[in-house]
Every structure is written in C-alpha cells, then in structure tokens.
Amino acid sequence: MDAPSDIDALADALREDGVVVDRVMGSGEAEDAHDRIAALVRATPFPVYVALVEEPDGLPEDSSAAGDALAGLLNRRLGDGLYVLETTSGAQRVWSYGLGADPSRLSLAAYANNDVLEESIAGLAGPMGTEDYVYPPPTVVAEATVLTVEEIVGIGRQEAGEDYPATLDEGDADRLAERAVRLDALGGWRPGVDDFVEVRTASPGLSALVGGLSGLVIALLLGQTLSGWPRRRTAEAERRAASRPRRTPRREHRVEAPPSPVPDLDAERTIARAQAEALSAALRSTDWEKVRDRDVASRALTARDAVEPLLASQDVADVLGAQVLARAGSRDLARGTRGRGSALRTCFFDPRHPEATTDARWRLGDGEVEVPCCVACATAVVHDGTPAHVRLAGRRGTRAYWERDDVWARTGFGAVSDDLAREVLADREDPR
Amino acid sequence: MTPRRRRVVGWGVGAVVGLVAGVLLGTVTQGWQESREARDVERRAEVFGRADEVPPPGDAVRALLAEDSQVAVDPLLADRLPADDVRRAEAILEDAAVPARIAYLTYPETSHVGYTTGGAAVQWSTGVGETGHYVVLWDNGSSESVAVGLEPSYVESRTDGQPGPALVRIAAEMAAWEAEPLPTEPDAPGDFDYWGGVLGGLGAAALFGTFVVLPLFALLRWYVGSRRRKVT
C-alpha cells in the first residue's frame, strides 16, 4: 500500500486487516508479506496489529521513544491488542495493551524467538559477525512474531521467572530463514562489475634488458675469476712472505716486456766503488762510543767485508750487489748511530730503483710471493705485469736476474732478505 | 701461461659465456613473458564471456514494468512529476533514433527496500528487453544509465532539481545517443613496449651496465684487491 502520511491514516489502514507493510520495508515483496502476515493475524484469537512502515511525521526523534509514542497513539485509535511495529528509523518491537501480559516478559519471549531465527539464518548464510551473515528482514521477523504470538503473550502473562523459552518451531525457523536469505540475495543484487583484466604484454625490450645485464654480470664475474682477482694481502700472507726470503726464484713467469738493457759493468762498478768508499769513510769517522745501537751499526762492518771482494768481480750482478751492500751498510751505520730509522728496502725488480715503499704479488717458481718494490714497478705489475727489471747476459741472450741460481737471485738483491751481507759472506764460503 | 695471455683467455671466455648466458636468459625471460601474456588474454576472454544472471525483480521494479510507456514512473512518486513534463519526455523519446526509456524511481535509502541502484536499472531494462538505452532517474536527483544490446552511454545533463525538467533534459540527451554495438570479442592486447623493443632494452642494459653494474664491479674489485689500489 502507499505509505500513510500520518498516524490516522496508518490506523485506518490497520483497521482493515491489521497489517500494513510499506514497500520501503518489504524487501521487494511487501504485498506477499502483507498477505501472509494478515492470514496469521486473522487466525489469532485476540487483536494483533503489524505495521512495518516509513516513520510517520510528528514522532519524537529518539527511536525508542518514537516507537513507544507510535504504539500508544495507535492503541488510542485501535484499542487493546498486540502491536508489532517497526519504522525506517527504529528496530522492531512488541507492545501489548489489555492482554494482561508484562511488557518486559513479552519482549524477552519475542527476543528468544528472534534468537532461534537468527541461529537458523546463521546456519544457512554464515556465522553472525561475518560478511556472509544475513540480518533478517522486517517482514520475516514480524511473521515469526505473529506466528508465535499466542505463546509469547502466554509467557508475558506468567509470573516473573528466569526462563523465557523460545516458542518458534524449528521447522518454521528454517523456513523463515530460507526466505530471509533469499530476500537478502534478491534485494541486494547488483550486476557484477566487469573486472578489467590487464594483459601484461610480453616486452622484448625487458627480455633484452634482462639478458644484457645478466650476460654482462656473468661475463665480468667469470672473466675476472678466470684471469685472477686482485688479492688482499692478509696477515697470514704477510707472514708467509716474510718467511720465504730464501726461496730461490728459479722459474718465474716469462716477462714479455721489451727486455731491459744489461747493466754496464764499468759504470756500475764506478758507482759501487764510490758507494763502498762512502761506507768506508763513514766507518772511519764513526765514534763508536756515541753509537746508540751497536748491533745495527755493526752490520755496516759486515757489509764492508762483503762488499770489497765484489768490487773487482766481472759479473755485473756482483757489482750491483756491492752497491746494495754499500748502501745498506751506510744506512745501518747511520741508523745505529742515531738509534732509530729503518733498514734499506730495495726494489725487488731492480735495486737501482727508488727504495721500496709498497708490495706487489709476483709469481716465482710455482707460487706467488709478495715482494717489496717501488711505486713504478707496483703500478706496472697492476697494469701490464711487466715492470722494468734487471736482466743479465745468459747463454741465450738475456734473462731476468732471478732466473739464475746465485745469492742475488735468492735474495732479490736483498729485497727479500733480512741480512744480505751475511748471506753473501755465507755464499762465498759455500763450497758449491 | 703468461699473465697477459691468461687475462686475455680469461676475459675472452668470460665474454663468450656471458654472451651465451645473456642470450639464453633473455630467451627464457621472453618465453616466460609470453606465457604470462597468454594467460592474461585467456582470462580476459573468460571475463568477456561472463554474463550476469539477473534475478526476478522485486515489487518496485515490477511496478515499473507494468507501465507500457517510454517513461515509467514509480506509482509512489506519480504526484511528483507534472504530467506535461512526462508527455514532453515521452514525445522526445518517441522520436529518438535509438530506442530509449526513462524510469523515475525511489532511491534505495535502506537495505529493506528490496533493490539496489545498479540492480534495479538492470532488472528493469532486462524486463523490458528492448534493445536501446535506459536511464533510471532517482528521486534524490541522481541517475543510473544502462543499455540492452548496446554500449551504455552516460548522462551528462543536470539531473538534480525539479524532477519534471530533469526528465525532459535527460530525454533530450538520450534522443541524441547513438547505437554503439557491443564488442563481439575482447580487446586485443596492446603492443606497447615500455623498453622500446630489443634495441631499446639493449640500450637500457648498456646504460644500467655503465652506470650501475660496472661501478659496482669496480667496487668489488677494489674490495677484493684493495692492496694493489694503494699503489696508485
């Protein structure tokens, strides 16, 4: 029916068959619900009025007070009976007038039936509190109430107690629950939104990017691994290098750089003699009483003893070694006198180079050792692996000095020896 | 093997293996992308072929369907629409090139009313069944447009204010709507390549390699062989 605009119109409509269901409360089947509930009302031995309507004008704003007011106003117009009322702004409740039922007990009995209905709905749709749960439509709740109206009025008439048993039959509850679920599905239906399916197009560019980058990474890592990673010198490597001074560098890797010229014997001898003379002069002028570290300074004496026989040698390696011995002796005498300073540290590749200030990894024989060297040689090792080095005449051209089997090769002209002078003297006494 | 030769061989092998691995990985990546694209195309086709099963309408929509007119008015709202406006709208829609209908219905404010905005429009248009455009003008001034057998158009006219003039405005707009047929097959996937094809991808790889991979590799070498770096 059309929504009555005021209480009088609503009362008039209720006077017809006791039931008014507005479309706004009918869940899509207001007329059917009206007919079903009206049939139940007719079978009830006392007056029952059911109004599921849009809230009439003129009621209090508070929904509870509005319900009470609506029930009272309808009772004044229609007389005694049971009133089942629900408006668009309030929940469904039950009022009784002149039936001798206690309002509270009446309501509790109706709520007990409602609980049974909700349990049946939960069993069909889903547990209460979840998205699947369906709240019973007003028409279904009203039908359940009218279906059990005699029982709940009976409970309302009883003496006060603690037990308010549900009087809604389980079969009726299931039937009403099915209707509630169906009405909810129909009333809440909306067309499915066409999900836009994004097609992730195959990108040859991305494949090329992945392939290119992965190929580059693999090439870099594999190439570097095969050609050798630069190695960090560890403390262990340091110790091994220091403990390997006597290693005879017999077979080193072949150096492909343009061969360095063989040192000129006469020129180197002149230099060696001058350095030996400087050492002798320094020894003569030394006041040994003022020497602070005689152990160090006395190594200059050993150096002088080792140098002198070498100055007349026809082997340019001996002459170069004499230079190293003379310079090392002078350095030891000076630092012994002062009591501080460091020993001469020659470049492994050529003792005539500036003093060693760094190290380079160099393959000797079957292994690699850290050798002291000047900055230029270390740089050359890093970039092309061929520092300028001393080459000596051999039977088949020239060769690196460390390819020979002598004290200079073993000691690297003192670069890998702690006491070159003693090694030279020991070598001289060796009958080999 | 001399250090130089060792380096040449090592880097040569690395380059060849890297090239082969890059081609393989690129091919595998392309294959994986193509299979993913095929799955997406299949899913798009599946969604395209999906159709809603429209449930039977409730009492409100049934009331609309009971009216055999180009303009169907909810009986509960009949007194809100001037008859002249309804006649003018019907006259306009009669002359429309593409069949068009308008319904005037109560907006579903509560969940107990028995229909939704989108649901009622589709239930009504499906119930009518005639190919054409359908617009539901709600009593709160909003509207919902759907179509049967055509691509739906959307109302651009002002629909709020007095419902009578709004009805006429909508009718005038609908009379100009064209019949754009529904697609018979899903949209074909685009061929847009963010990376600009193979050459673009290789160019991007070169850029990433130059500005990301190589610096990282240099950092790794420095970390591994920092001892030698001290020389410089």
* Model pLDDT for residues A239-259, shown as the tens digit of each residue: 555 555 444 343 344 444 555
Query: What's the pTM value of the predicted model, to 2 decimals?
Result: 0.60
Q: Is the pLDDT of residue A364 over 80?
A: no
State how far the Cα of A33 lies from the Cα of A86, in Å rounded to an integer: 14
Give the residue numbers spanning the domain of A418.
246-429
Instruction: Indicate whether A134 and A251 sit together in one domain.
Output: no
Instruction: Indicate whether A292 and A404 sit together in one domain.
Output: yes
Rg, Å, chain B Cα set: 33
Element (H, E) at A169: none
Residue A215 lies in a domain: no
Q: Tell me what pLDDT residue B68 has.
A: 84
Q: Which of B60, B106, B110 sits opposite A88 (nearest CB)?
A: B110
State how far the Cα of A246 lies from the Cα of B228, in Å rounded to an integer: 24
Q: Tell me what pLDDT residue A248 has.
A: 39
Q: Tell me what pLDDT residue B226 has.
A: 61
CB A101 within 8 A of CB A157: yes
State how far the Cα of A342 lies from the Cα of A220, in Å rounded to an integer: 42
Given CA atoms A293, A298, A303, A304 in this order, what sign does their dihedral have? positive
Q: Residue A207 CB: number of other CB atoms within 10 A?
A: 24
CB pair distance less than 8 Å for A223 and B10: yes
CATH number of the structural domain spanning residue A87: 3.10.310
DSSP notation for A284-348: HT--TTS-S-HHHHTHHHHHHHHHGGGGG-S-HHHHHHHHHHHHHHHHHHHHHHHT--------S
Residue A418 backbone dihedrals phi, psi, to 5 degrees:
-85, -30
Rg, Å, chain A Cα set: 57
State how far the Cα of A104 lies from the Cα of A396, in Å rounded to an integer: 125
Residue type (1 letter), A317: A
Residue A223 lies in a domain: no
Q: What is the mean pLDDT of residues A367-371?
A: 78
Query: Within the 46-105 window of chain B, which residues sit less than 8 Å (CB to CB) from chain A?
Result: 47, 50, 52, 54-60, 75-76
Residue A273 tokens, joined: 């003699």
Residue type (1 letter), B104: Y
- Report percent pLDDT > 90 for chain A: 53
SS3 B188: coil
Which of A167, A187, A207 is at the close of a domain? A187
Residue A222 lies in a domain: no
Q: Residue B41 CB: number of other CB atoms within 10 A?
A: 18
What is the residue whose two structure tokens read 């020129």? A267
CB pair distance less than 8 Å for A256 and B56: no
* Model pLDDT for residues A139-151, shown as the tens digit of each residue: 999 999 999 999 9
Q: Which of B9, B29, B113 sits opposite A24 (nearest CB)?
A: B113
Q: Is the pLDDT of residue B18 over 80?
A: yes
Residue A379 lies in a domain: yes
Which of A187, A204, A236 is at the close of a domain? A187
B225 contact residues in A (CB cutoff 8 A)? 229-232
Q: Residue A129 CB: number of other CB atoms within 10 A?
A: 8
Per-residue pLDDT band for A341 (boundaries 50, 70, 90) equals confident
Q: What is the DSSP letter of A392?
A: E
Residue A236 lies in a domain: no
| Backbone φ/ψ region at A242: left (φ over 0), alpha (ψ -120 to 50), beta | alpha
Q: How many structural domains compose chain A?
A: 2
Q: How close does chain B come to A301, measured CA to CA in Å?
A: 35
N- to C-terminal Cα separation, chain A? 132
A46-50, A52-56, B3-7, B162-166: which has the minimum mean pLDDT? B3-7
Q: Is the pLDDT of residue A176 over 60?
A: yes
* Model pLDDT for residues A66-117, shown as the tens digit of each residue: 999 999 999 999 999 999 999 998 889 999 999 999 888 888 889 999 999 9
Instruction: Indicate whether A180 and A268 sit together in one domain.
Output: no
State how far the Cα of B70 lies from the Cα of B73, in Å rounded to an integer: 10
CB pair distance less than 8 Å for A219 and B204: no
Instruction: Indicate whether A123 and A55 sit together in one domain.
Output: yes
**Residues with Cβ < 8 Å from B212, sequence gap 6 or more?**
none
Nearest to A233 by CA among A45, A359, A326, A109: A359
State how far the Cα of B67 lies from the Cα of B56, in Å rounded to an integer: 17
Instruction: Indicate whether A153 and A287 sit together in one domain.
Output: no
Residue A194 lies in a domain: no
Q: Tell me what pLDDT residue A387 has.
A: 86
Q: What is the mean pLDDT of residues B49-74?
A: 92
Rounded to 5°, angle at Cα A71 from A70 and A73: 65
Residue A85 lies in a domain: yes
Instruction: Indicate whether A270 and A398 sit together in one domain.
Output: yes
Q: What is the mean pLDDT of residues B154-161?
A: 89
Residue A155 lies in a domain: yes
CB pair distance less than 8 Å for A206 and B194: yes
Q: Tell me what pLDDT residue B94 has.
A: 94
Q: b vs e for A7-37, b when ≥16 Cβ sit within 10 Å of the residue's Cβ? A: beebbebbeebbbbbbbbbbbbbbeebbebb
Q: Is the pLDDT of residue B4 over 60?
A: yes
Which of A149, A168, A187 is at the close of a domain? A187
CB B189 within 8 A of CB B40: yes
| Backbone φ/ψ region at A11: left (φ over 0), alpha (ψ -120 to 50), beta | alpha
